[in-house]
Structures are given as C-alpha cells and as structure tokens.
Structure 1
C-alpha cells in the first residue's frame, strides 16, 4: 500500500459528466481507495470559450450523488494562473514564440511529404525566430533534438509506452494563440503543486504522457505513476464526449436508477463484477473488486 498516494479526477466544465467520464472518475476513485490514499478533484476550466456556466457545480453534485467523496477542497485552474506564469519563466529559453497557423503547419507537412500523418507534427518553422512580418501567436516548447531521444514510461494498464516526441509531435504549444494556457503545461504544474503521485485517466491521453514527462523533467518535478483505462466509445467507434453528443449520465434519477443505469455499467466496462442493492454497498464491493483486477493484471 502506498501511504503517500495522492490521486485526482480533473474534469473540464464543458457540460455534465457522461458515462465515459464516469468510468474515468470511478477508476481514479477506486485506485485511491485501494491504496489508502487521497482523491482530489480539480476543475480544468482554462478553456473559457468552451466552459458551460454551472457545469462545474453539476459535475460536483453528480459525484456526490454517486457516493464519491473527495479529499480537501476542490480547485479550479483559473484560480491558479500565477503558477503557470512561474513555470513559463522557469522554462526560459526552452520556450519560443510561434506565428504558424494550423493550416500553415498542415501545408508544411505536405511539402515535407508527411501529408498522410494522422497528427500535425510541428516542423520547427519558427524555432530559429519569426519570419519578417510574422506576428507571434502561440508559445511552443522546444523538444529534444538528440537523434533517437525516446521518452518512455511503464503504464500500469498498458505496460511499456515509448514516444519520440520530436519526430511524432514536434515542438508543442504551452500557451495557445487565444492566450489560454495549454493543457500540457497546466496539468503538469497542477499535479506537481498538488503532490499527485498517481494519475488514472482515459487512454485517449496516453500519447500526451511523454510530453508531460518531458515537461516534468525540465521543471524538476517528480514523475507520477500512470494508469490509462480504456475509453468508452459510441456505436460509430468514436470516443464518448460532449463533441460526439454523449448524454449526461446523471439526469436526476433516483439512487436506485443511478446505480443500475450508470454505476454498474461503468463498473462492468472496467471489468468489475459488482452486485449491490445500494450505492454504499456498491462501493463496499467495488473497492476489493478493483484490487483483484489490479492484481490479476499485475497493475498494482
């Protein structure tokens, strides 16, 4: 058991929680309980253009209705921006202004014969300075230039994961063209400031982890352990999200319906076989079920 375990759930207030976000919340909550640790809740509201008024309180109310009690006070990223400014100052010359639009990056990929890439790999256009007449838009972080510099980690669910962030991502944005702080920087700073030791989240963020490890290295903060659970998809194979029309799981139904229609399906998706008649009984059974699952997967 990790006596100093600190985990977290960090939803964005772009709407109410859906089944996919409930799965992520449940996995992170159970992992903290199994390890006798703390479970924090952080509202990741930096993208003000996408925030929905009142969604943060709806999220918190849904967690309470599901019987998930967090430790300490809830934090909001928009109240922590001085921490991101301090991190930016610490990164110093690792950061440079970039004037490229998304279309220009895509055009550069085409010229370099990379047009079939699923991701837009930044080609380093502004790395040596902005072209004459080009205005700065975003701030980018220089990635390692050593040939073959691969960043890897052991994911507790997926096993060894490696990525050459220079070849597969390129210099990445840490402050966006709209002035908002990018997810990659904010999540690293917040996790370090809150002492998070274990991050349990969806596998859609698996390929972000090497960038976060690199930022942790530059900022001199500890590397947490990671566990990325499978993501819930819709009938078309798309990840459930607000953008793909995912419905809220908490529509004010009774605790019995919430248990039968949301908590138990989320547990089954994670591979947990939990039979319970009430929400408290559900958690009493789900914690040891998660522990067995981890031991069976050797993901402890």
Structure 2
C-alpha cells in the first residue's frame, strides 16, 4: 500500500499566528517540512538510554487533569497558584479576571469569605474567557516566567524552545509550532537544575498520515495514548544517578482534528505525587508514548499490520509554573 506522506495536520485555511521565531534558533527547515516522515525529532542524550539511572515509576492515571485550550484554567491551575501564594489575588484578577470579575467589590459583601466566593465563582465561570489555558500558558511558560534572565534565555535556545514559548495549540504554522515524536520519544538536558516545583503541564495531540477520504471512512479524531515523562538527576557525591518516570493514560487524545484549538492539555501536581524533595537537582527530561488504541490504525488495541501509515505525537508545550532553578 502506498504510504501517504503528506501530513493531515497541514491545513491551508489555518492562518492564525502566534508561534515564536523558532527558525532563528535552529537550522531553518529542520523538522517542519510538509513531509510527515521528515519531521520526527528523535534526539535523546545517550546517557539517558543507559542503565546508569535507578528508575522509580509512578502510575498516575487517576491524578491527572485533562483540558482543552479554551477551557477555564481556574480550578486546575490558577486556584492552586493562588492558594499556594505564588500569585496575589489582585494579580489573578488583573491577568485572568473578566470585566464582571473586576467589577466585584469587597465593600458589597458582609465579609471576606463571601467576597472571595464571589470572585472565585467569577474567575471559574465558563463565561470568563480571560482565564482560559491559552492565557495561562502565555503568562507561565518557561521562557517568560518569574525567573532570572539567564534561566529565561536558556529556555529560548534550541529546538526545545518550541516547547517553552507558551503556544499550547496548533496555530496554523503546522510543524513549526511543535515537536513531532515517535514512540521512542525525545530527550533534553537543561542548562540549569530544577530546585523547587509544583505543577507539571504538557500540551500535545496526535497526528497521522492516514488519508481517510481515500479509504472512505470517517476521520478518527481521538486516540488512546500512554504518555511517559522521565526526569533525570545526575550522580553526585551524596546521591546515585536517578530517574523518576510518571506514566499516565490519556483515554481520548485529540488527533487529526483540523480545528486548531483541539490539543489536549494534561496537568498534575508533581510536588503532591512525588513529594517536594524528590526532583530536586533534576536537569534532564525525556518524553515518549505508546499508542494504545486508534479506531483505524489500532482498532481495539490491535495494530493493523496491513497498513503502513504513521502515527506521531505532536508535543506543543511543557510547563512547570512557579518552579525555581539553579
């Protein structure tokens, strides 16, 4: 069967802009051609593939939150930041409050609790577009967060900067907007060590070379995927080298959906799941996945070996809001 090489996600009518100038920070044309099979990024530091790291695996299927870019981020992100005192209520209202939120006055309520309930209710309202995940990512990406200049600049260099610029969705620039990986995945060594951390957020979607029209079948827009994120700590005088892997299943990862806003945002509390000390001194990461089920390519979890079309994971963003680095 002739392989369909043209990527289904490159839709000519998409004209919304917003990607950072990634062409300026690695070789122009790398990993964002119109040929699907040429866009895989497969680089993993060789040492991360060795047995030098003692691995601990954390299955967190029941501890993740799944959202889409236009969903309200108050309950799963902003509220946590506020309660953790990472940000003041005044700043939250400024960044994420609608006009209705900003119109709420403490003087109109008999006590502070009633006032806070009103503010929280307004911030978390589905009608409050200011608190969506797009806005949250714009304010909390690793290249813009409350870090020193050297740390921010380190996340603006190299191909990994495609995952740290706050762009959590396909914006019409196709492969320029994300990193495409196969099941083996990708890896990266940070220029700095992670010291403090709270929540972890990753935005991704699936993509394939399937031409559904040629087969006369409906487009498959969801896939069941297991995602594995590993954090690496190097050997020191006091500790052995270690690897901490969080693994989780996304039952319905958006895939091959032409709507630009359909990426899948997964968030969870790293400090709660692993503890506040476990990932101190992390300076590397790998991301890989396993396609568990796809109604066309892997129906019922059984790979259709008569097909040679490809499936890939498109990773848009990685965030560690209010983390600190050394």
Shorter-chain-normalised TM-score: which range? under 0.3
More strand by share: 2
Calculate the TM-score normalised by the size of structure 1: 0.25
More helix by share: 1
